[in-house]
Structure 1
Amino acid sequence: MAQQIELTNTVNESQLGKRLDQVVAELYPDYSRSRIKEWILGDMVSVNGEVVNKPRAKMMGGEELHIIAEIEDEVRWEAQDIPLNIVYEDDDIIVINKPRDFVVHPGAGTPDGTVLNALLHHCPSLAEVPRAGIVHRLDKDTTGLMVVAKTIQAQTRLVRALQKRKITREYEAIAIGKMTGGGTIEKPIGRHATKRICMAVHELGKPAITHYRVAEHFRVHTRLVLRLETGRTHQIRVHMSYLTYPLVGDVQYGGRPRPPRHASDEFIAALRAFDRQALHARMLRLAHPITGEVMEWHAPLPSDMVAMIDILRKDKIENGEDDY
């Protein structure tokens, strides 16, 4: 059974000269390029009230887009009885606290055992919603809060709110290096030129903005609180690596163990044993997609990050501020 969706949006002035299919893909990143192309070729996309069925049609910026399309039920994914840590649930949304080592969406190398499979078991009606209602993702080993929509209407509104930067996502991280203060990183992110599983700061990439502030200093590490304005793949990890302050445990982006001089054996062992990026989505705030009520949730730091912070504090006390 197919579900009908209706989407409206305005082409950004910054999208001047871009193709229609590119513009729609940027405005609605939760839908695949192939699906968007099918919509356009199928006369389902209108620009300023007129149907446009040419994916390569150039946009001038400011046009009104209107899409009425059908989406087939996502029946190819299997419902699996996998526990979920549900922080909040009502008729329209689910908020979960994702643990480490838990992939959000099936893909190459991970056909099942994901958050999506668990959601389909918990709420079978999510088979009628694209991507089982998933609005945004967290990396496999990033912990913390995610919101899931239980209806197409809720998902459409949440995706739109995310695009308009009306959803607040706050993270906590431990970075390698002693940072002097907070700031904002506004650098575009795209696929790495040679490492295809990695992302990188790239002038031809998509806009990406990360705000960060220092929460606590250690000898040669820094505890950070970060907020995302955009949601690019690996955004915080890439931006912090770009600043030369990669996250503890994030070997993919340069976060290899760097113990300071005179560090204890206990500290060195703990640092080497920390085998994931030290990143946690600790706060989520949004307007409920149906009621409009502003809601906020918090997730405490996971035990591995708490233990690492304790070790860093102990090292600082034992050795003072001096890292030499």
Structure 2
Amino acid sequence: MTLPVVFESNEFVVLDKPDGLSFHSEQQPGLVVLAERQLNQTLYPVHRLDKMTSGLVIMAKTDQVARQFQQMFEQRLIEKYYLAISTHKPKKKQGWVKGDMVASRRGSWRLSVGMMNPAITQFISLASQPGERFFLVKPHTGKTHQIRVALKSLGAPIAGDIRYQLVADAMQEERGYLHAFALRFSLNNHQFEFVLAPSSGQRFLANSTFLTAQRWAEPWMHF
């Protein structure tokens, strides 16, 4: 498998992660191993995407740059934007989802009313194909399964999400419809902006969905 390289410098590389590829190696080589083989060098992941999620991933080329990125993530200096599709109508069409993440069964999470260390997610949405809702999501924190749980809490689980959608419904989908769409940050006095449309999944590739994504081509303008 050849991974699409979106951007590469002496400091870091931005890759387009395919959906269905594990970040770390399981039975098969994961994203990190494949990227290191392809680029023939050690890479330092500074954030991760779930197996079902496609899209933009940053990997540093040195430990020093990795530490810079990690500090930037901790200080919320890196803006992240995601696209998602649900086949359910959300309780609200835009706004915020806030609450503590509580461990549930078998590696799942749920949203609670507590606010001790809340996951904070901002979103807007539009009607897309018949029976679909198309979301542009900006997570302000970086919790495990944060967006997946946030949309589930709105009554609109992500299509194809076997963990948070009804399994019978999720199994009908060719992929989980969550995509890391855009990144924006400043590193060493240089401003970087990356926007990448999804390249797989019939629901993502549908004409009306792509037209909506083009409307969101500068997602930071909508929040």
Q: TM-score range by the shorter chain?
A: 0.7 to 0.9
- What is the percent sequence identity of the aligned residues? 25
Aligned counterpart, 1:103 = 22
Matched-pair contact (CA < 8 Å) for 2:89–2:155: no
Distance of 2:28 and 2:130 partners within structure 1: 42
Aligned counterpart, 1:90 = 9
Q: Does 1:196 align with 2:97?
A: no
Aligned counterpart, 1:277 = 176
Aligned counterpart, 1:296 = 193
Matched-pair contact (CA < 8 Å) for 2:199–2:205: no
Amino acid aligned to 2:192: M
Cα shift at 1:212: 0.5
TM-score normalised over the length of structure 2: 0.83
Aligned counterpart, 1:233 = 144
Q: 1:292 to 1:205 in 2, by over 3 A?
A: same
Q: Does 1:171 align with 2:70?
A: no
Q: 1:171 to 1:236 in 2, by over 3 A?
A: same
Cα shift at 1:214: 1.1
Structural mapping, 1:12-51, within 5 Å? none
Larger RCO (alpha carbons 8 Å, 6+ apart): 2
SS in 1 for 2:163: helix
Distance of 1:166 and 1:273 partners within structure 2: 38
Matched-pair contact (CA < 8 Å) for 1:185–1:239: yes
Equivalent pairs counted in the alignment come to 208
Instruction: Structure 2: give runs of 5+ residues left out of the alignment.
Output: 211-223
SS in 2 for 1:251: coil
Cα shift at 1:278: 0.8
Q: Which has the larger radius of gyration?
A: 1
Matched-pair contact (CA < 8 Å) for 1:178–1:217: no
Structural mapping, 1:143-158, within 5 Å? 143-158=54-69
Cα shift at 1:211: 0.7
Instruction: Structure 1: give runs of 5+ residues left out of the alignment.
Output: 1-81, 127-131, 259-270, 314-324
Amino acid aligned to 1:171: Y
Aligned counterpart, 1:66 = none
Distance of 1:147 and 1:287 partners within structure 2: 13
Matched-pair contact (CA < 8 Å) for 1:102–1:141: yes
Matched-pair contact (CA < 8 Å) for 1:178–1:218: no
TM-score normalised over the length of structure 1: 0.58
Cα shift at 1:153: 1.1
Q: Does 1:185 align with 2:97?
A: yes
Structure 1, residues 237-290: CA drift from partner, whole Å, max 9, x if none?
Answer: 1111112111111131025577xxxxxxxxxxxx863143211111111112xx
Matched-pair contact (CA < 8 Å) for 2:120–2:141: yes
Aligned counterpart, 1:60 = none
Distance of 1:310 and 1:222 partners within structure 2: 14
Structure 1, residues 48-105: CA drift from partner, whole Å, max 9, x if none?
Answer: xxxxxxxxxxxxxxxxxxxxxxxxxxxxxxxxxx421110001000000111111111
CA RMSD of aligned residues (A): 2.6
Aligned counterpart, 2:160 = 249
